[in-house]
Amino acid sequence: MDYKAIAQQMAQEVLGYNQDTSGWKVVKTSKKITVSSKPSRKFHGNLYRVEGIIPESAAKLSDFLYQTGGRVTWDKSLQVYDMVHRIDSDTFICHTITQSFAMGSISPRDFIDLVYIKCYEGNMNIISSKSVDFPEYPPSSNYIRGYNHPCGFVCSPMKENLAYSKIVMFVHTEMRGKLSPAIIEKAMPSNLVNIIFNAKDGIKAHKTPSGRGFHHNSHS
């Protein structure tokens, strides 16, 4: 499988989401974080867009979001986030297991995703991901295997203050299983807001003297 070609294509799709200004409907706002959605063109569900401001430079924020080692310490939506195959310094495959949410009505899912980081003009970084087939990690009977259509984080410097970044997160997840779309639509916006809050808290903790500083993490 040509993972690098898939990586380029999914980054382009996330860039396209970021440039698409039409048809979004605001479904939640909380402490300057805005969640919008629009119907997916790929499955019976929604594409979500989550926007906020984080007090960190775009380069350090994207590095923080890209590294795997500490992800589950700050991202409370995940139980497991493990790199299972490194392709190159910009690209890897990870195995993710989510927490249950919506008070247990949405059980944990697992995903095998290709993850890719790319820098664009104006110091904008996109970390994109998409579900792929990876024979070493077939679906197990323990979890429903979900499917991520192209998802990602777009990190851009705030021109008026480069110590701050705009973060836009796109989530395009097919949960699979027998869930009613209404349950997902009700639960998803709060869950997505919490991920941005968690990232803010995580990067703040990462910057403290006891934090290990920023670096690309090797195999976790």
Mean pLDDT of the 82-95 span? 96
Give tens-digit pLDDT for 2-59: 999 999 999 999 999 999 999 999 999 999 999 999 999 999 999 999 999 999 999 9
Mean pLDDT of the 182-206 span? 93
| Per-residue pLDDT at 217 | 42
* 158 pLDDT above the threshold of 90: yes
Tell me the whole-structure pTM to 2 decimals. 0.92
What share of the chain has pLDDT > 70, as a percent?
94
Confidence of residue 165 (pLDDT cuts 50, 70, 90): very high
| Whether the Cβ atoms of residue 114 and residue 7 lie closer than 8 Å to each other | yes
* 195 pLDDT above the threshold of 70: yes
Confidence of residue 219 (pLDDT cuts 50, 70, 90): very low
Ordered domains of the chain (ranges, CATH): 28-36+44-181+195-200 (3.30.530.20)
| Per-residue pLDDT at 105 | 85
| Per-residue pLDDT at 213 | 47
